[in-house]
């Protein structure tokens, strides 16, 4: 909620509160045209709804934890980073080519702390997989791939299936 929205909401609430208090004291409430109150309330509700929608749609990937700078990316911002193609064998035994952004590129932007030792891949369904930061840093072809339906999956070609996380929304550095 922006400061403007919050100010408007507080103004409407204080006007309504004043009317209730004056009515309870037997004093006539100041006359405010109902359409004015309704208009202000509608504007505030619309602004808040837009901001909630923007916030929900805004961040597709976050980098948090033991980093110099916690980051939040939209999907377009991640896709604008340098991409690479890697081959990996999926759970069906098929070797496919995946396009995405190197995990190391994203980690370089966030600058993990010197004492950081692990990376946790967090999925949109709550699933997590933890791998040592040393392993990720040594992996030149570990990426966050772009999913056809939007979002990201981790592709770590030479690692076990539990590290191939669908719907990655957060990278937690520990």
In this prediction, what percent of the chain has a pLDDT beyond 90?
Answer: 63
Whether the predicted pLDDT of 29 surpasses 70: no
pTM: 0.68
* The listed CATH number (3.40.50.150, 3.90.420.10, 3.40.190.10, 2.30.30.830) that belongs to domain 61-173: 3.90.420.10
Mean pLDDT calculated for residue range 48-54 = 48
Higher pLDDT, 49 or 45: 45
Domain ranges within the chain, ordered by starting residue: 3-58, 61-173
In this prediction, what percent of the chain has a pLDDT beyond 70?
Answer: 71
Q: What is the DSSP string of 104-144?
A: HHHHHHH-B-TT--EEEEEETTS-EEEEEHHHHHH-TT-EE
pLDDT at site 50: 53
Is the separation of the CB atoms in 86 and 155 below 8 Å?
A: yes
pLDDT at site 89: 92
SS3 49: helix
Distance CA 38, CA 25 (A): 24
Is the separation of the CB atoms in 55 and 162 below 8 Å?
A: no
Whether the predicted pLDDT of 170 surpasses 70: yes
Whether the predicted pLDDT of 72 surpasses 80: yes
pLDDT at site 43: 76
Q: Is 2 exposed, middle or buried (0-12, 13-18, 19+ CB in 10 A)?
A: exposed
Mean pLDDT of the chain: 85
* Residue 132 neighbours by CB distance under 10 Å: 12
| pLDDT classification of 31: cutoffs 50, 70, 90 | confident
């Amino acid at each position: 909620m922006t400061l403007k929205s919050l100010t408007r909401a507080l103004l409407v609430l204080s006007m309504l509160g004043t009317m209730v208090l004056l009515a309870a004291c037997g004093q006539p409430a100041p006359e405010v045209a109902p359409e004015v109150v309704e208009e202000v309330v509608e504007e505030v509700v619309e602004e808040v709804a837009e901001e909630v929608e923007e916030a929900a749609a805004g961040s597709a990937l976050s980098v948090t934890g033991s980093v110099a700078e916690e980051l939040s990316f939209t999907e377009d911002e991640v896709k604008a980073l340098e991409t690479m193609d890697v081959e990996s064998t999926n759970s069906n035994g098929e070797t496919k080519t995946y396009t995405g952004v190197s995990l190391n590129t994203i980690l370089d932007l966030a600058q993990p702390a010197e004492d950081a030792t692990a990376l946790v891949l967090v999925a949109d369904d709550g699933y997590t997989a933890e791998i040592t930061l040393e392993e990720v840093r040594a992996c030149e072809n570990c990426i966050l791939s772009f999913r056809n339906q939007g979002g990201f999956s981790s592709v770590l070609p030479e690692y076990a299936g539990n590290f191939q996380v669908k719907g990655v929304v957060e990278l937690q550095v520990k």
